[in-house]
Amino acid sequence: MKILKIDHLGIAVNSLDEGSKFWTDVMGLNLHGTETVEEQKVTTAFYPVGESEVELLVSTSPDGPIAKFIEKNGGKGGFQHVAFQVENIEEALAELQEKGVALIDKTPRMGAGGCKIAFLHPKATGGILVELSQRM
């Protein structure tokens, strides 16, 4: 598997407006855009930082994964995942399966920005939700 870079850091928030205040007003980052990914029940907002991004995630449904994450976190948002950009996501997933790594996604799905994405199970990564991303 060839990892190209840290693609983004995913941060769960209760509101994009509230969440973005810190990233724009305090850190001085500029919003690149927002996108709703219906399949994942989430709206995202991206803030570029060099070659990587900060991704804010807000749930569009009370039963979405971000809503569940926030509920488990006592109603507060926070760091939700780290995403690594890989050269070939299908090859990366095949290699991880051969190594016996527990995967949430055994095949890629479409994520924000038209990327192919897949998640590794936190029980295989020391408790961190890891996303693989291949930009198309």
Q: Confidence class of residue 136 from pLDDT cuts 50, 70 and 90?
A: confident
Residue 73 to residue 68: CA distance in whole angstroms: 9
Q: Confidence class of residue 113 from pLDDT cuts 50, 70 and 90?
A: confident
Residue 72 to residue 55: CA distance in whole angstroms: 20
| pTM for this entry | 0.92
Write the pLDDT tens digit of every residue in 101-112. Answer: 999 999 999 998
Q: Which amino acid is at 85?
A: Q
Average confidence (pLDDT) over 4-24? 95
Q: Would you tell me which CATH number, out of the four given (3.10.180.10, 3.40.50.300, 3.90.1150.10, 3.40.50.12280), belongs to the domain 3-134?
A: 3.10.180.10
C-alpha distances in angstroms, 84 versus 3, 18, 26, 70, 73? 7, 26, 26, 23, 24
